[in-house]
Structure 1
Amino acid sequence: MANPRPKMITVTSPRATLMHVYVNTPDDYKGVLKYKTQFTCDAAAARPLMAAMDAATDARMAEAVEETAAKIAKLRAAGENAKAKAVNQPKRKTSYEVLLDAEDQPTGKVRFSSTVNAEGSNAKGETWSNKPVCFDRFGKPTTVVVYGGSTAKVAVQLVPYAMADDNGTLNVGCSLRPKALQIIELVSKGQKSASGFGFEEEEGSYDGSSFTADDAADDSTDDNSTSSERDSQTRSEIADDDEF
């Protein structure tokens, strides 16, 4: 008999870039509503998450092997040896994507996918929302609309699974359910982050965070004054020329 299923755990990703984001309103695909997002992290920083997913997959794989062995034994006991011989062993699936470059070399990035039904329900007919909760960088709840390109940490629930394909083979892996996000850098609709344009931090003297609206007003006033002075000087020069 298989061991009792371990309680599903929640793990938080490192800083990640979000894409295909549906955390404010669910994605509607053929009438099926799901909250979802993909996120890409540095591979080194994502090792704890990958290790947790691998461990959950390995545990579910061990159960699947036991379940398959029991199925084969039951068929043989019933004298159905041909059917027993046709039973396939479970297949282990990697549930995250190590990103490769054009030469099939690792880029140092890993992509994860997370999805959950918009609503949950139980045998009693009770329902509840699975909408992920969003927090700002200070840990305060926020209802801001999040778009792809934003930087965030994603809290995901690990859900190991074993799903039979059309041939009856159990495919074993670990899916992720988005539970919460901490938004670190927000990208609005139609915008891209600096990294989205290929920009990285560079040495220099300009810091936009210290540039205020008052600074802009002062610069504008200076520019207008300089322009007026130039116009006055030009008119004076023209008047002098007319005297000759």
Structure 2
Amino acid sequence: MKQRLRKQEKSQFKLFVFFANCEYFAEKFHYDEVPQLGKSGGEPILLPEPPVSVFDYGGSDKLDSLGEPGMKVDHMLFNKFEAQAQQDNTLKTLVDNEQWDRSADYVHRQLFGKPADFFTLEGLRRAVGMDRCLNLRGLLEKVFGLTPRFKMKDELLEDKFQKFLLDLSAEELEQHADVIVALKNYFKAHATDGQLRYIITKGQFTELNVNPNFTMADFKAVPAAWCSRIPEYVQNYVPLDHFS
């Protein structure tokens, strides 16, 4: 059968304009409008066949930024929560006084889980496109302008690793300048991979041969003195729950 059919060369293509759909739901669709449902019954409406044409694209394949991650409806959810939180004077006072435990308790009781919007921490995390765990303190710091934006997982890991390097002496930095990349990979992997932490803690190093995130070759690139020093630092100074 394959020999009879031979290789078929495509001569025409159908282009599905996906981004036109994104543009419509981001800019033109009225999310607050209640749709009017049509009456049941009647003859079905026959739509005309779409025109068939040949499109020859001669431009570049450069990808431009499409703005903030997520859809408009997600941003609207977060903006609605942000507006409600900022208008709550009790919550604002708690945040101004850095009473984070009381602030978290207040948000859970007064803002989360209400029938009108049903805000949840996980729902807001998804709404802003976070790729890591988001706690209530981090959420409130953004809402009340204490931080300019949410940091993604790798960006936060970079900050933590830079802080780790700043704690080293100039002599140590100069001595290990050629293995900084290996140290960074080990640092990030240890902060984000619970399985790797278990392997290192238990000394089951042969398991690294089948670990897809941090291999035996990666581990051997780390100087022996740092194989235990970095895990100790991560355990003591890096909030692991931020990366789960």
Question: Normalising by structure 2, what TM-score?
Answer: 0.20
Answer 1 or 2: higher relative contact order, Cα 8 Å, separation at least 6. Answer: 1
Structure with greater strand percent? 1
The structure where helix makes up a greater share of residues is: 2
Q: Which has the larger radius of gyration?
A: 1
TM-score, with structure 1 as normaliser: 0.20
